[in-house]
Every structure is written in C-alpha cells, then in structure tokens.
Amino acid sequence: MPTILFIEDDATIAMGVEYSLKQDGFQVSLAYRLEEARDLLKHSSFDLVLLDLGLPDGIGYDLCKEIRAIRDTPIIILSARDEEASIVLGLDLGADDYLTKPFRLRELISRMNAVLRRRGSVETSDRILTFGDVTVVTQQAKVYKNGHEVLLTALEYRLLLALAANQGRLLTRAQILSQIWDVDEDFVNDNTLTVYVKRLREKIEDDPQNPLLIRTVRGMGYKAGD
Ligand code: CA
C-alpha cells in the first residue's frame, strides 16, 4: 500500500480526498499545518507527498524545499494558485507535478499513480549508463557526477534517463514528453519541460549557461551529448 502524506488545511477537501484515496488503496496521513507535516516526516517515511500551498503556519513551498534538501520523495502540489509563475516556482523547488484546484479526484489519482510508477519502474533494470561525466546506476536509481551523488526528483531522473539512452540523437520536445510523462500530456506545456531541463542542467552541467550534455536545438527540441 503506497503511503501518502497529505498536507491540506481545508478540512472538507482533506477529508473528501482522504476518503477517496483510502478507497483506492492508499494509506493516508493527514496534516493540517506545516508543523504537523514536519513532525510526521521526522518519524515516518512516505511514498508520496501531496502538498497544499496556502497553510495556516506558512507556505507549502517552504516544506517542498525542506523535503527536497534531504530526500527525493515525490511531491505533488495541489493549489488554487494557477498562475504560471506559481507553477514554475513549485517545479523549480523540486515538485514532481502540480494540480490546480478544483481538480477531479480521478485525475489526482492517475497523476499519483503515474508519479509512483515512474519511481518504481526505474528501479527494476540493472544497467549503468554513462553520459559525459555523469553516471546513472539504474538499479539503484542513483546519479553521480565526478563521483559525487546528484539528488534528482523522479521527473528529473526520468528526463535524464530519456536523454542518456538517446545520446547523439535529436529528441523533439514531444518525444521527450512522451517518455517522461505517461498521463495526459496536454498538461505538460512547453514551459514546464523547459523548467525541467533548466533544473537538470543546473544539477549535471559544469556550466548550465553553456550546456554540453543537454543542448537546445532551436525550434526542435534537445540533443543529448555530442
Ligand atoms: Ca489551503
């Protein structure tokens, strides 16, 4: 049973979603405030975090940052703030996905399953991929650059795998999206992919402003390696 930490201060939403998730076989812990969530995170581990942004004792972005600093648990942000800037900021802080309220429960559950599947599926193969000075140990879903481990979110990891497996080839944005995102591709706009690429570059390129591993091919997509 996947374990979910659900942080939401609106009791109606919290209990409604909790009920549906339990029906669908998830084990749910509810937190109404950031402090409660921090406490739960200290004592248990979760497969997935669902995070509201506007909370009584702070903003969800802070917790997103805190979680990302120490672990790679997938995070889906749930928020009424649907402006593009908020979405980009959430993704920049390491969230794996973003759903704006009001959302349909079926959509939430399919996004959750997609995030969990991506996480699970990358741990089953046993190959070591080399991508420039970056090494990907797919069995452990670990990434190293010059011998130092690089911490990636599930989606960044998926993006890296798609690129590393296609070195020397031009990948269109649509091809990349279809490999890293297996539900409702319509929700991932060009801007979102650009944000993921930027984040991944910051983690694996020597000079993210002059990327050598992930090159932009103007108007087309990206080329991995040389
Ligand atoms: Ca709220």
Residues 66 and 23 in one domain: yes
**Of 55 and 128, which is predicted with more confidence?**
55
Q: Is the pLDDT of residue 94 over 90?
A: no
Give the structural domain span for 156.
128-224
**Structure confidence at residue 182 (pLDDT):** 57
**Structure confidence at residue 71 (pLDDT):** 82
Residues 159 and 116 in one domain: no
Residues 6+ apart with CB under 8 A from 189: none
Distance 114 CA to ligand 1 centre (A): 24
- SS3 category, 17: helix
pLDDT > 70 fraction of the chain, expressed in percent and rounded: 90
Residues 132 and 114 in one domain: no
Distance 19 CA to ligand 1 centre (A): 18
What does the pLDDT average to over 6-21?
A: 95
What does the pLDDT average to over 146-157?
A: 87
Distance 174 CA to ligand 1 centre (A): 34
CATH number, domain with residue 188: 1.10.10.10
Distance 34 CA to ligand 1 centre (A): 11
Distance 14 CA to ligand 1 centre (A): 10
Residues 82 and 99 in one domain: yes
Residues 86 and 132 in one domain: no
Q: Is the pLDDT of residue 65 over 80?
A: yes
- Alpha helices per DSSP H over the chain: 11-23, 34-43, 60-70, 84-92, 105-121, 154-164, 173-180, 190-204
Distance 82 CA to ligand 1 centre (A): 13
Distance 205 CA to ligand 1 centre (A): 37
CA distance 190 to 57: 34
- Looking from the CA of 66 toward its CB, the CA atoms found within 13 Å total 15
Of the residues 66, 87, 120, the one at which a domain ends = 120
Of the residues 120, 141, 169, the one at which a domain ends = 120
**Structure confidence at residue 58 (pLDDT):** 94
Residues 161 and 207 in one domain: yes
DSSP class of 186: G
Distance 224 CA to ligand 1 centre (A): 40
Distance 56 CA to ligand 1 centre (A): 8
Lowest mean pLDDT among 64-68, 101-105, 120-124, 188-192: 120-124
CATH number, domain with residue 86: 3.40.50.2300
Residue 157: name the closest of 211, 212, 205, 200 by CA: 200
CA distance 75 to 95: 5
DSSP class of 185: G
Beta bridge partners of 114: none
**Structure confidence at residue 29 (pLDDT):** 97
Residues 108 and 136 in one domain: no
Residues 182 and 159 in one domain: yes
Model confidence band, residue 38 (pLDDT cutoffs 50, 70, 90) = very high
Residues 109 and 23 in one domain: yes
Model confidence band, residue 92 (pLDDT cutoffs 50, 70, 90) = confident
The model's pLDDT over 167-224, given as tens digits with 9 standing for 90+, comes to 888 888 888 887 776 555 555 566 788 888 999 999 999 999 999 999 998 888 898 8
Beta bridge partners of 7: 31, 51
Between strands 48-52 and 3-7, the pairing is parallel
Tokens of 147: 């011998």
CA distance 64 to 91: 10
pTM above 0.85, yes or no: no
Distance 104 CA to ligand 1 centre (A): 17
**Structure confidence at residue 124 (pLDDT):** 40
Residues 153 and 191 in one domain: yes
pLDDT > 90 fraction of the chain, expressed in percent and rounded: 43
Residues 114 and 180 in one domain: no
Of the residues 67, 96, 120, the one at which a domain ends = 120
Distance 188 CA to ligand 1 centre (A): 24
Residues 75 and 11 in one domain: yes
Domain tally, the chain = 2
Lowest mean pLDDT among 54-68, 124-138, 147-161, 182-196: 182-196
Residue 60: name the closest of 33, 36, 41 by CA: 33
Distance 54 CA to ligand 1 centre (A): 4
